[in-house]
């Protein structure tokens, strides 16, 4: 009987410890390990990684840093082969707004090409590693034709449309010459927008950028010679430079935005969709991208 209060106390203590650990786990899971609260002048680091499909979160973080009086400079760490045109353009515009008010320094990782380079263009300084894959100033539209495959399995499809070009790019039939010309005109328009954005952001002649804008990639070392980047260096070099440009004395304090992590179910679904899409090579609908195609650099 005397042991019962002791056992109860042990159970209660264990329950409190368990709840505390679970609370820490939940907080880390939803908020991430790095907070954005800081008391003094600081340099904020925002990471853009992977294919650019959506701009909302990146724009929100850039906007928050622009309003935060303690954030004197922002380092945009880019490790991306590009992505969908509109989100890349939206991020570009937000970086441009931020660079007009505060110091923005880009640090390129392994790849910062096509749309990944597009969003870097308006920054005040661009750092790249010597072996960074960058450039790829161009537009890509991938279309597929599965008419023969459907015929083999005895499946027929029918399309009802309100205009002769409404189903242009359909995978269910060959593309006509007129449709190809229309698609090419759209690509050329987006390409011109890309060239003008780079020329404006890098303060380069339009003709000079046009000569480089045939989709080719460059190493960071080559990009430096072509004035597509300003310096060779890593993330820490970019942070140090951002602090100096912002007038911060000594080693700048660095903050990161809170990370948002998806549920396991979402991660599994998105990962499976990406894998299947990559293997099959099909794109849903007509989708133009500022994206580099098929580059894997290993040593």
Residue-wise pLDDT for 11-59, tens only, equals 666 776 676 656 655 544 444 334 445 557 999 999 999 999 999 999 9
**From 55, 114, 136, 170, active-site residue:** 114
- What's this model's pTM, rounded to 2 decimal places? 0.76
Q: What is the pLDDT of residue 34?
A: 45
Query: Residue 298: pLDDT band by 50, 70, 90 thresholds?
Result: very low
223: tokens are 């990009």
Give per-residue pLDDT as tens, 113-163. Answer: 999 999 999 999 999 999 999 999 999 888 787 878 877 887 777 788 898
Given the residues 101, 142, 161, 166, the one annotated as active site: 166
Pairing of strands 42-49, 71-80: parallel
Strand-pairing partners, residue 128, are: 232
| 258, 34 Cβ separation under 8 angstroms | yes
Question: What is the average pLDDT value for the chain, to the nearest integer?
Answer: 82
Domain boundaries, the chain: 33-291
CA nearest to 71, candidates 39, 93, 105, 47 = 39
> Has residue 1 got a pLDDT over 70?
no
Tokens 């100096």, residue located: 244
Q: Is 96 a catalytic residue?
A: no
- Per-residue pLDDT at 17: 65
Give the closest residue to 201 by CA, choosing from 98, 74, 87. 98
Other CB atoms closer than 10 Å to residue 62's CB: what's the count? 22
Query: Does the pLDDT value for residue 8 go beyond 70?
Result: no
pLDDT score recorded for residue 150: 74
* Fold topology of 33-291: 2-enoyl-CoA Hydratase; Chain A, domain 1 (3.90.226)
Our answer to whether residue 114 is catalytic in this structure is yes
- 185 exposure class (CB count in 10 Å sphere: 0-12, 13-18, 19+): exposed
Q: In what order do the strands lie in the sheet with 288-291?
A: 82-84, 288-291, 140-141
Contact 71, 65 (CB under 8 A): yes
DSSP-derived letter for residue 134 is E
Query: Where is 217: in which H helix or E strand?
Result: strand 217-219
Q: What whole-number percentage of the chain has pLDDT above 90?
A: 57
**Mean pLDDT confidence for 236-246:** 96
Pairing of strands 253-255, 42-49: parallel
């Amino acid at each position: 009987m005397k042991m019962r209060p002791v056992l109860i106390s042990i159970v209660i203590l264990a329950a409190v410890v368990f709840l505390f650990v679970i609370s820490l786990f939940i907080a880390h899971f939803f908020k991430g390990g790095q907070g954005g609260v800081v008391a003094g002048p600081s340099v904020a680091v925002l990471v853009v990684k992977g294919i650019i499909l959506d701009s909302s979160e990146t724009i929100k973080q850039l906007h928050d840093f622009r309003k935060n009086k303690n954030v004197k400079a922002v380092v945009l760490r880019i490790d991306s082969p590009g992505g969908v045109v509109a989100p890349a353009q939206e991020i570009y515009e937000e970086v441009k707004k931020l660079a007009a008010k505060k110091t923005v320094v880009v640090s390129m990782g392994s790849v910062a090409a096509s749309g990944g380079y597009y969003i870097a263009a308006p920054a005040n300084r661009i750092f790249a590693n010597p072996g960074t894959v960058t450039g790829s100033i161009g537009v890509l539209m991938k279309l597929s034709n599965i008419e023969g495959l459907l015929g083999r399995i005895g499946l027929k499809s029918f399309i009802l449309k309100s205009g002769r070009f409404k189903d242009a790019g359909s995978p269910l039939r060959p593309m006509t010459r007129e449709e190809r010309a229309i698609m090419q005109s759209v690509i050329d328009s987006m390409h011109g927008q890309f060239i003008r954005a780079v020329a404006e952001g890098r303060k380069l002649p339009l003709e000079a950028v046009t000569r480089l804008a045939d989709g080719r990639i460059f190493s960071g070392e080559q990009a430096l010679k072509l004035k597509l980047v300003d310096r060779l260096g890593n993330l820490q070099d970019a942070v140090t430079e951002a602090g100096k440009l912002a007038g911060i004395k000594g080693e700048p304090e660095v903050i990161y935005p809170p990370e948002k992590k998806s549920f396991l179910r979402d991660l599994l679904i998105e990962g499976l969709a990406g894998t299947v899409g990559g293997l099959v090579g099909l794109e849903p609908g007509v989708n133009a991208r500022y994206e580099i195609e098929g580059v894997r650099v290993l040593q």
